[in-house]
Structures are given as structure tokens and as C-alpha cells.
């Protein structure tokens, strides 16, 4: 089952799927595939009648702790009630980090009701960061997709 987080403006998305449940160092984990696409970069001779993706990032093997995944879903449900910003590390504690944030950024046109979503996936040798504005409907779609993705047996 796939899940999707669209941006508020519709120009960026984070899509993913739970590939399978697994265990790492005796910890229950999920193997995710994530893909982020968007049209965030300015280009010459852009035809505004046609939307062409400026980037397409695919992360085929993102391992997250199941408990941290469940904490993310709870934080997203809580955000729908309180709009409290949060930052969560989903990784399994190795040298690779996977951090998700939902919060207003001081350098962006965001606020409590339209925060920024940030995904940072990093290792000692590489770092990928995706950031875009979202709102309550975007986060609700993502939350429901995440819940459905783990409700289906893998």
C-alpha cells in the first residue's frame, strides 16, 4: 500500500510504500521506499502550460524503527488537533538518519496552519533534504496513507 504527502501548492510530493516488515538488531523495523518529486527550481524558457518535474529523488531502502513510525502517525494525528510542531528521528540508530519535521520555518512563508514539511535523510557521506509547505488536508492524507500502509500484511 502506498502513501502520499502532497505540498500545499501542489508542486511537490513525497510518496512511498512499505516494502516489508523486518528486524534489525532484534528491533522491529519497516523497510520503506520513498520518492520525492517537485517543480521547485527556476528554469529558462519554461512553458507554464506544462508542468515538468525539476527533480525526482528515489530512496529505495529506508529502514525505520516500527515504534518510531507509529510515533510519527501519533504526532501527525496530534498535529490535527493542536498544530504543535514536531521533529522525529525514524532511523534505527545507526550511522544513517531519517528525520521528519512539521513546523513553521522562520525563513519561509509558513505559519502554524501551513507549516513546512522537512525530510532529511543523511549518512556520513551524503545528505538529502526535501522541504515544502503543507496544510491540514495534506497532513491528513499522509496520516491516513501511513496508517493504511501498515494495516495491510506485508
pLDDT score for 10: 87
In which residue are the cell numbers 496544510 written?
135
Q: What pLDDT sits at residue 41?
A: 66
Give the number of other CB atoms < 10 A from CB of residue 31.
Answer: 17
As to burial, measured by CB atoms within 10 angstroms (0-12 exposed, 13-18 middle, 19+ buried), residue 44 is: exposed
Residue range 2-151 forms a domain whose CATH class is mainly beta
Domain boundaries, the chain: 2-151
Which run of H or of E encompasses 4? strand 2-6
Q: What confidence score (pLDDT) does residue 81 get?
A: 96
Model's pTM, two decimal places? 0.88
Tell me the residue length of the chain: 154
Q: Which of 34-48, 86-100, 129-143 is most confident?
A: 129-143
State the Cα–Cα distance between residues 113 and 93, nearest whole angstrom.
32
**Residue 5: pLDDT band by 50, 70, 90 thresholds?**
very high
At 83-132, the pLDDT tens digits run 999 999 998 777 899 999 999 876 655 567 899 999 999 999 999 999 99
**Are residues 54 and 68 in contact, defined by beta-carbon separation less than 8 angstroms?**
no
Amino acid at each position: 500500500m502506498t502513501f502520499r504527502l502532497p505540498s500545499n501548492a501542489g508542486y511537490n510530493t513525497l510518496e512511498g510504500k512499505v516494502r516489508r516488515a523486518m528486524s534489525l538488531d532484534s528491533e522491529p523495523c519497516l523497510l520503506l521506499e520513498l520518492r520525492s518529486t517537485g517543480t521547485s527550481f527556476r528554469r529558462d524558457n519554461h512553458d507554464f502550460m506544462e508542468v515538468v518535474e525539476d527533480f525526482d529523488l528515489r530512496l529505495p531502502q529506508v529502514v525505520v524503527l516500527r515504534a518510531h513510525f507509529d510515533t510519527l502517525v501519533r504526532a501527525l494525528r496530534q498535529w490535527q488537533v493542536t498544530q504543535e510542531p514536531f521533529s522525529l528521528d525514524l532511523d534505527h540508530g545507526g550511522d544513517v538518519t531519517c528525520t521528519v519535521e512539521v513546523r513553521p520555518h522562520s525563513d519561509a512563508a509558513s505559519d502554524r496552519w501551513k507549516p513546512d514539511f522537512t525530510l532529511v535523510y543523511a549518512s556520513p557521506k551524503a545528505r538529502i533534504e526535501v522541504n515544502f509547505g503543507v496544510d491540514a488536508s495534506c497532513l491528513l492524507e499522509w496520516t491516513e496513507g501511513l496508517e493504511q500502509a501498515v494495516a495491510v500484511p506485508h
